[in-house]
């Protein structure tokens, strides 16, 4: 299964992520027959987003069926799968267009401001979690730079897909352009050129910035590409400056930029095709970020094969650790060995591995390593 058949992708690159700069998205459907189990997994994944997201607001819940708040990052994923549903014939273009318009309109019109309650965001950014009924900040959650970026990734993808002259498609593009344009990225640069992970109205900026290698890559790209509030390109150099100390490793095979949970190697790649794009750091290493994600997939498989934790079931066919719910926060003695377990946690090779593999990650990152993925997706 190749990259094109797995997922319709936008062809955006750094410096060209505004609507006028985005490359053309794939406009034709998947070709050839998929493995039936992969095809079923794709459709069931789409159906989850379509069925659990309220049509009027587009607020996708963080989880289901447990009562949940909305995750704005999940909304970005939902906006991405709607066109995939159209291309596969699961819904019509009219249905996807209506849902997409109601979603982007809701976020465009959502109140913004510095107050702690009654708003959905501030300075163009959105809170990580929103109340499912009002769309306002949930609890004391943070104003999140990365979750805003993941929401924008889905919005920009949708705006490029709905490229027709239908009045609703024109309106989708207008609203998305406006939402992206009002994000004040430089406001989040409080420690040099790095971008803060977030902000709380009660306490101010989170004392951590995006560095190392992880899903924060999309934050830096969107911030540099902003048509209205761009950050200086020095932000990218600042982002890369900690690669050697925080990320570079060859512990599980080929050398690569390591981030333990798989999602860090997937999220930015949902919308940006990194093949052939080389910054100075990766040019010196001799491969691009797409290849880096391929190596990360191999590293996860190698870790499961070695199975130094002696977890039941880990193998070449069952692997892929990421952020997900687990059995709970407790310690058990199992066969004379003390085991620590976690509830929700980011998991990865050598980091908080409690034997929990998220079912979606049993189908690891197919765009970057399709031949590894199909067997691992099977029950």
* pLDDT computed for residue 114 by the predictor: 98
The percentage of the chain sitting over the pLDDT mark of 70, rounded to a whole number, equals 86
Kindly report which listed range (66-75, 260-269, 360-369) carries the lowest average pLDDT score: 360-369
Average pLDDT over residues 192-204: 98
Residue 25 has pLDDT above 90, yes or no: no
* pLDDT computed for residue 350 by the predictor: 86
* pLDDT computed for residue 373 by the predictor: 55
d(CA 43, CA 144): 30
pTM of the model: 0.89
Kindly report which listed range (21-30, 221-230, 328-337) carries the lowest average pLDDT score: 21-30
pLDDT band at 68 (very low <50, low <70, confident <90, very high): very high
The number of CA neighbours under 13 Å toward the Cβ of 251 is 13
CA distances for 116 relative to 57, 112, 294, angstroms: 22, 10, 42
d(CA 174, CA 197): 28
Average pLDDT over residues 49-63: 97
Residue 77 has pLDDT above 50, yes or no: yes
pLDDT tens, position by position, 134-160: 999 999 999 999 999 999 999 999 999
* pLDDT computed for residue 177 by the predictor: 98
pLDDT band at 16 (very low <50, low <70, confident <90, very high): very low
pLDDT band at 32 (very low <50, low <70, confident <90, very high): low
pLDDT band at 33 (very low <50, low <70, confident <90, very high): confident
pLDDT tens, position by position, 99-144: 999 999 999 999 999 999 999 999 999 999 999 999 999 999 999 9
Which domains are present in the chain? Answer: 3-246 (1.50.10.140)
Residue 7 has pLDDT above 80, yes or no: no
* pLDDT computed for residue 242 by the predictor: 95
pLDDT band at 34 (very low <50, low <70, confident <90, very high): confident
The 3-class SS string of the chain reads CCHHHHCCCCCECCCCCCCCCCCCCCCCCCCCCCCHHHHHHHHHHHHHHHHHCCCCCCCCECCCCCCCCEEHHHHHHHHHHHHHHHHCCCCCHHHHHHHHHHHHHHHHHCCECCCCCCCCEECCEEECEECCCCCCECCCCCEEHHHHHHHHHHHHHHHHHCCCCCHHHHHHHHHHHHHHHCCCHHHHCCECCECECEEECCCEECCCECCCCCCCHHHHHHHHHCCCCCCCCHHHHHHHCCHHHHCEECCCCCCEECCCCHHHHCCHHHCECCCCCCCHHHHHHCCCHHHHHHHHHHHHHHHHHHCCCCCCCCCCCCCCCCEECCCCCEEEEECCEEEEECCCEECECCECCCCCCCHHHHCCCCCCCHHHHHHHCCC
* pLDDT computed for residue 13 by the predictor: 33
* pLDDT computed for residue 170 by the predictor: 98
Residue of 357 and 108 predicted with greater confidence: 108
* pLDDT computed for residue 35 by the predictor: 86
């Amino acid at each position: 299964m190749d990259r094109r058949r797995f997922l319709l992708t936008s062809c955006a690159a750094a410096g060209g992520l505004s609507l006028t700069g985005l490359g053309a998205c794939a406009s034709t459907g998947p070709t050839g027959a998929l493995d039936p189990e992969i095809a079923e997994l794709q459709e069931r994944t789409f159906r989850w987003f379509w069925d659990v997201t309220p049509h009027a607001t587009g607020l996708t819940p963080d989880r289901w069926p447990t009562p949940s708040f909305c995750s704005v990052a999940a909304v970005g994923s939902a906006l991405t799968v709607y066109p995939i549903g159209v291309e596969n014939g699961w819904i019509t273009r009219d249905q996807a267009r209506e849902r997409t318009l109601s979603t982007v309109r809701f976020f465009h019109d959502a109140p913004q401001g510095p107050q702690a309650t009654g708003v959905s965001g501030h300075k163009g950014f959105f809170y990580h979690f929103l109340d499912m009924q009002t769309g306002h900040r949930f609890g004391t959650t943070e104003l999140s730079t990365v979750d805003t970026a993941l929401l924008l990734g889905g919005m920009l993808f949708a705006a490029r897909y709905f490229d027709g002259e239908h009045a609703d498609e024109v309106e989708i593009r207008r609203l998305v352009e406006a939402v992206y344009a009002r994000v004040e990225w430089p406001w989040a640069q409080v420690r040099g050129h790095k971008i803060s992970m977030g902000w709380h109205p009660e306490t101010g900026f989170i004392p951590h910035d995006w560095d190392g290698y992880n899903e924060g890559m999309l934050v830096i790209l969107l911030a540099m590409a902003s048509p209205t509030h761009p950050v200086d390109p020095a932000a990218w150099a600042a982002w890369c400056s900690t690669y050697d100390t925080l990320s570079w490793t060859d512990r599980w095979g080929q050398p690569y930029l390591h981030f333990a949970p798989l999602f860090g190697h997937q999220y930015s790649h949902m919308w940006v095709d990194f093949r052939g794009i080389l910054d100075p750091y990766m040019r010196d290493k001799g491969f691009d970020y797409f290849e880096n994600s391929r190596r990360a997939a191999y590293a996860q498989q190698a870790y499961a094969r070695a199975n130094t934790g002696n977890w039941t079931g880990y193998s070449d066919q069952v692997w892929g650790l990421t952020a997900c719910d687990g059995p709970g926060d407790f310690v058990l003695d199992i066969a004379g060995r003390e085991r620590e377990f976690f509830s929700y946690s980011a998991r990865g090779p050598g980091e908080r591995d409690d034997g929990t593999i998220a079912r979606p990650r049993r189908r690891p990152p197919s765009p970057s390593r399709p031949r590894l993925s199909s067997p691992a997706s099977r029950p």
